[in-house]
Structure 1
Amino acid sequence: MHRIRAVTNLLDQPHHDGSALHVPEGTPTLGDRVPVRVRVPQAAGVDRVWLRTVRDGEPRLSEAVRDGDTPGGEASFVTEVDVHNPVTPYRFLLDGSGGYRWLDGRGVHDRDVPDAGSFRLTTHAPAPAWLGDGLVYQVFPDRFARSGAASDRAVPDWAAPAAWDDEPAGDGVLAGTQLYGGDLDGITEHLDHLVALGVGTVYLTPVFPGRSNHRYDASTFDHVDPLLGGDEAYARLSAAVHARGMRLMGDITTNHTGQEHEWFARALADPTSPERGMYVWDEPGRPDVATTPDGAGYAAWLGFGSLPKLDWSSPETWRRLVTGDRAPITRYLREPFGLDGWRVDVANMTGRWGSADRAHDVARELRAAVVGERPDAGLIAEHFHDATHDLLAGGWHANMNYTGFTRPAWSWLAQHGSPVAAHGLPVAGVRRPGSAMVAAMRDFDAAVPWSVTARQWNLLGSHDTPRLATVVGSAELVEVAATLLFTYPGTPVVFAGDEVGATGDNGEHARTTMAWDQGARGGGPRWDAATLDVYRRLSAVRRGSSALRDGGLRWAVVTEDAVVFLRESPTERVLVVLARGPWAGAVLPGHLVAPGASPEPLYGQVEVRATEAGIVVPGDGPGVGVHRLA
């Protein structure tokens, strides 16, 4: 893994990112020449800067021009990138005392580096701006709230009824069949909680009928599950969400349907039917192939026969899901539902089977359909591992950022001897130093254009992971994690319950209900009012800061137990201090604040002071500090 040296002050290094201080805002087109800027501190010992691109397979170098100095003594070098491909990589050659070095998205290197870490400009339009206006709040409908009508609905034959305060099953059949009875009108009744939290987008996991509490095994896309209140309740929820100035995003499976889906039923009943061609058929006994009662083999998600895989080489699949009059991808964007976009389940597997790989074509066509129906709609992928190549293809606007945010944050903040496994791995989690977290974040951020990084769905947990409180083991470290979530580039995503201290050992066990009765009383064992206050205050700080919403990222200090970084926009500079424990502290350059000015505390316990020696960051911890410097 690429490592970053733990130094007192990384602000002595040259810096570039894709934010407005370094690259003009907007999406370029092919043939544009885009000016890009590098900031070079005097202490860096750099005299000349070149831009390196690769055109038609051959590296090209062009020297940057020094066009002024900042009040802090940083030299500014500017040159132009010729946007000759839909994704155009570039990096900088630095020359001066000590010999040449390279600057790319992973940092400054005194060695030769591969192109994988280069900065990138792209002609692909970014995610809609509204995705970054507030936090995204994920709701698992069965576990959020019951309306009065929920108790009148018959329990389906597959379900095991549960009382609202029952502990969720963490494994076995019950994990998928335990039914608590939350519904869509229940969500509508509690939207004021979301408004107070600063939610900008409400994201619901699937609402289509299935034979599980998670509903990723849809039996139809034609209507909303009556157990949730049906189409009418979905329309009521949408109207209520939009009336409060929020957005609503759905969740759909493009990789598979449920085994009980009407399409698959017809495919089994009639081998000559058009539905037969909508699924992937293969030889029994091969990996991830399930078997029908008559002995035919069909591809299934990870081999689970209940989730047969769709074949995107079939025109009928396109018609039923995307292009037809009742195709769900576009129909639910229209009234009376009015969804603002989709999160796509296991997007990384959609269109892929063996040597057939249509994933990028599918993603691009899904975007074209969604944006064609609603120009401001969003399309977010679920991709648990390295989504780099998928995010460069012009399909998904962004990804659920497990690899570039969740896993690195967990690895730094996990309690020693954490009871939960490393996410997605059959091994125990491990507590790593701050340098490992930052190196992982920079690796994944550098691999995609800044326009993607700026809208990635960053999360500290979801319905597929253990709960944050269980991973880190203390309220103090929950606060450190939440502060990282609300101050890091991208869109913060909160799984319902994290804001009140929910616990859970794995994805299924983490699907807890909301203890609304305890909330009404001001708190309780399942409703931590102090944690809720942390989330509300941090959300408000982010909403009120242009630097935290849209600014660049510049690492200042990286040590084992603390990290410090700057977020900078053209009008604001914010300093973020995160410490998982006591550390040595640091002194940053005094020019970061105006002469005679003092850092303005926005949040946290760590007090940063401007002195004659510079900006003093104390070694308090665990703790956080968010300060406006300019």
Structure 2
Amino acid sequence: MTSHLLDQPHHDGSALHVPAGTPAPGDRVPVRVRVPRAAGVAGVWLRTVRDGEPRLAQAVPDGVGPDGEDTYVAEVEVHNPVTPYRFLLDGPGGYRWLDGRGVHAREVPDAASFRLTTHDPAPAWLGDGLVYQVFPDRFARSAAADARPVPDWAVPAAWDDEPAGDGPLAGTQYYGGDLDGIVEHLDHLADLGVGTLYLTPVFPGRSNHRYDASTFAAVDPLLGGDDAYARLAAAVHARGMRLMGDITTNHTGAGHEWFTRALADRAAPERDLYVWAEPGRADVSTSPDGQGYASWLGYGSLPKLDWSADETWHRMVSGPDAPIGRYLRPPFRLDGWRVDVANMTGRWGSEDRTHAVARTLRAAVAAENPDAALIAEHFHDATTDLLAGGWHANMNYTGFTRPVWSWLAVDGSPVAAHGLPVTGVRRPGSAMVAAMRDFDAAVPWSVTARQWNMLGSHDTPRLRTVVGPDAVEAAVTLLLTYPGTPVVFAGDEVGATGDNGEHARTTMAWDQAAGGGPRWDAATLDVYRRLAAVRRGSSALRDGGMRWAVVDDDAVVFLRESPGERVLVVVARAPWAGITLPGRLLAPGAQPETLYGDLPVTAGADGLRVAGDGPGVAVVRLA
């Protein structure tokens, strides 16, 4: 029989439990824990760690909460840049611990403790709307694109051609999308509820993805050049949206002006910019004249930058024309950067300067625009890097994308698990939630609240291919209601498909937008639009805390709570047993107000009844 988790003590880092704002060293921050009477708790202590040493302080009763839950409060002294804490609960059956993963009747490591940090959080605007990712070659062509010559590295493709999924063509297939084409379709972004437009690189290279930059000094003429980038920035900002760029701090392209000078002249200052190594080692490539250099995963087209060199800092960050600052200034005025391969930047053998690079990039970005964002690309466990005061947040593949895929994946799907040499698997709800809680608990709430949550990107299979068309609504509901910043890869909202990252880089079928068609699913677009509107109109969904209520094999239920609102979210992948939740969740005299979805949630004498129908979703305002 399905049971609920709402009789367990609860704490998270949201405003209901921790005062808003970033603490300074020496501050004493009151933190509150909610303890339902049914939890059988007789006493609460706060356990903090100061300078590596655990300390205990008794929490004191702080009244009764709106749900009849006892509230306890204690103060955390912020002595270190990151201060971990958790709660000790005493009662019948012995003591228990409450941390970010839940309540435990056993000893637990500090890895999942709650955390306060003195590092400033990501800017609040990230949560104001969707982040919309555009791969410029595949989004839209303006009329000017027709007059541009096809570069010598490229293989021309018609707009409706299927993208190559592997082989040389995957990087050279050229569709000719450009920046003015994006400007022509900003109405689509506005209708979707986009707050931030994020473009993959716009610097010239010798590939359609442009992660192999040949210069950082100019925008690719194939996209329209600097003038077109400035026009796009002006148009985006005029609509009240933000614009974020994409930069490679781990490597350049082998055709980059710096690298070609370094190869040609061993006395050139550019020589210091790269990591040189003996050929034959792992991740080392060899130039035509026999010079060995470190490269991304051994791909010779992507030579690795050396962050132990002053010249690298000058060229990338501190110099007057360094790209990190230059593109945040007029006429482009970018609102921040997504940093490609952030996890490898500054790491090579015994050298590890990643945290120093991240902190310096953050300071440089803030010097140009104090409200700018710095987002890392990190495909696996980014938690250690996210505690260092550098990256504001991460592309949350491990804490959101993969868990959601694993719960909603099509049974027997041949699509590979992202980044793994095996196929995906359909797991129960408990596995999805455990993974989410593991990764959320390992970083401060200020990071969790702004993580870039995605259902896919230019590096992954398409959502629709992974979960099938019938489960898209469930996935999008999770995306738009879960804590963090929802990110949409252009085309997902109209039902794009693709088996892997390259194959998923489909073009937008603008010619089908008015009347629909096989490459433009109007029903899926409506799901995205409606859920995005619900999120925009809800303080709880944008900024509220997170409390798991039900974790079933085929359904999950959770609460998002802000000081002025409580929203219940139900997502079912199949029929399940249903449940009755405590009636105290409803404000006095209130009735459940369905904001989105078709699953019945009704109030009765015995509590709040959530029907076991499915598949389906419900987003319901309770207070």
Which 4+ runs in 1 deviate beyond 6 A?
Answer: none
Matches within 5 A, 1:329-368: 329-368=324-363
What's the counterpart of residue 589 of structure 1? 582
1:543 equivalenced with 2:543 (yes/no): no
Amino acid at match of 1:482: V
1:356 deviation in Å? 0.3
Say whether 1:600 aligns with 2:593. Answer: yes
Aligned partners of 1:418, 1:552: CA distance in 2, in Å?
34
The reply to whether residue 113 of structure 1 matches residue 108 of structure 2 is yes
Does structure 1 residue 135 correspond to structure 2 residue 148? Answer: no
CA contact (8 A) 2:61 2:73 kept: yes
> 1:501: which partner in 2?
495
Is 1:577 matched up with 2:570? yes
**Structure 1 residue 190: Cα displacement:** 0.1
Please say if 1:33 is aligned against 2:31. no
> Equivalences for 1:428-443 in 2 at 5 Å?
428-443=423-438
Contact 2:2–2:579 (Cα < 8 Å) also in 1: no
Total equivalences in the alignment? 623
Trace 1:226-265 onto structure 2 (pairs within 5 A).
Answer: 226-265=221-260
3-state DSSP of counterpart to 1:276: helix
Task: Choose the corresponding residue for 2:322, options 318, 327, 330.
Answer: 327
The 5 Å alignment of 1:284-433 reads 284-433=279-428
**1:163-178 equivalences in 2 (<5 Å):** 163-178=158-173
Deviation at 1:597, TM superposition (A): 1.8
Q: 1:3 maps to which residue?
A: none
**Cα displacement (A) at 1:411:** 0.5
User: C-alpha offsets along residues 71-109 of structure 1, whole Å, 9 cap, x if unaligned?
Assistant: 432000000001111000000000012211000000000
Q: By how many angstroms is 1:594 displaced?
A: 2.2
Q: Distance in 1 between matches of 2:240 and 2:382?
A: 31
Which residue identity lines up with residue 492 of structure 1 in the other structure? P
Where 1:10 maps in the other structure, the secondary structure is coil
Instruction: Tell me which residue corresponds to 1:46.
Output: 41
- Percentage of pairs with the same residue: 82
Structure 1 unaligned residues grouped into runs of 5+: 1-5
1:505-544 alignment, distance < 5 Å: 505-521=499-515, 523-544=516-537
Q: Give secondary structure in 2 for the equivalent of 1:469.
A: helix
* 3-state secondary structure, aligned to 1:555: strand
Partner of 1:18: 13
1:525 counterpart SS class: coil
**In structure 1, the residue corresponding to 2:62 is in which secondary structure?**
strand
Of 470, 478, 488, 1:484 maps to 478
Contact 2:2 2:577 (C-alpha < 8 Å) held by counterparts: no
1:270-309 Cα shifts (integer Å, max 9, x gaps): 0011101100001111100001122121000000000000
Q: Distance in 1 between the 2:574 and 2:188 partners?
A: 32
**Which letter maps to 1:185?**
D
- What CA distance in whole angstroms lies between the structure 2 residues aligned with 1:482 and 1:71? 31
Read off the aligned partner of 1:597 and give its amino acid letter: A
Instruction: Return the alpha-carbon distance in structure 2 between the equivalents of residues 578 and 162 of structure 1.
Output: 40
For the residue of structure 2 that corresponds to 1:343, the secondary structure is strand
- SS of the counterpart of 2:618? strand
Deviations 1:31-61 (A, max 9, x none): 1100000000011000100000122322111
**1:414 to partner: Cα distance:** 0.3
Q: CA deviation at 1:186?
A: 0.2
3-state SS of 2:26 partner: coil
Residue identity matched to 1:332: Y
RMSD between aligned residues: 0.7
State the match for 2:614 in structure 1. 621
SS in 2 for 1:458: strand
User: Residue 278 of structure 2 contacts residue 292 of structure 2 at CA under 8 Å; is this kept in 1?
Assistant: yes
Displacement after TM superposition at 1:7 (Å): 5.2
- Please give the per-residue CA displacement for 1:161-192, whole angstroms capped at 9, x wherever unaligned: 00000000000000000000000000000000
TM-score, normalised to structure 1's length? 0.98
Distance 1:387 1:24 in 2: 26
Select 1:148's aligned residue among 143, 149, 172: 143
Paired with 1:320 and 1:446, the residues of 2 have a C-alpha distance of 37
- Residue 122 (structure 1) aligns with: 117
Q: Is contact 2:274-2:306 (8 Å) kept? A: yes
Which sections of structure 2, spanning at least 5 residues, go unmatched? none
| Per-residue Cα deviation, 1:533-589 (whole angstroms, up to 9, x for no partner) | 000000000000000000000000000000000000000000000000000001100
In structure 2, what is the Cα distance between the partners aligned to 1:98 and 1:392?
Answer: 35
Q: CA deviation at 1:254?
A: 0.4
- Larger deviation, residues 16-25 vs 64-73: 64-73
Secondary structure at the aligned position of 1:11 is classed as coil
Which residue does 1:212 correspond to in 2? Answer: 207
Counterpart residue number, 1:558: 551
AA aligned to 1:436 is: A
- Looking at structure 1, the residues matched to 192 and 50 of structure 2 have their Cα atoms a distance apart, in angstroms, of 47
Q: In the TM superposition, what is the alpha-carbon distance from 1:515 to its structure 2 partner?
A: 0.2
One-letter code aligned to 1:515: A
Aligned counterparts of 1:600 and 1:455: Cα–Cα separation in 2: 27
Q: Do the aligned partners of residues 596 and 366 (structure 1) sit closer, same or farther apart at CA in structure 2, a change above 3 Å counting?
A: same
Determine helix, strand or coil for the equivalent of 1:360.
helix
User: Which digits, 9 at most, give the CA deviation of each residue in 1:483-539, with x for residues without a partner?
Assistant: 000000000000000000000000000000000000022x11000000000000000
CA contact (8 A) 2:51 2:80 kept: no
Separation of aligned partners in 2, 1:187 and 1:406: 26
* Per-residue deviation, residues 423-478 of structure 1 (Å, max 9, x unmatched): 1111110000000000000000000000000000000000000000000012x310
Q: Does the residue aligned with 1:312 lie in a helix, a strand or coil?
A: coil
Does 1:201 pair with 2:188? no
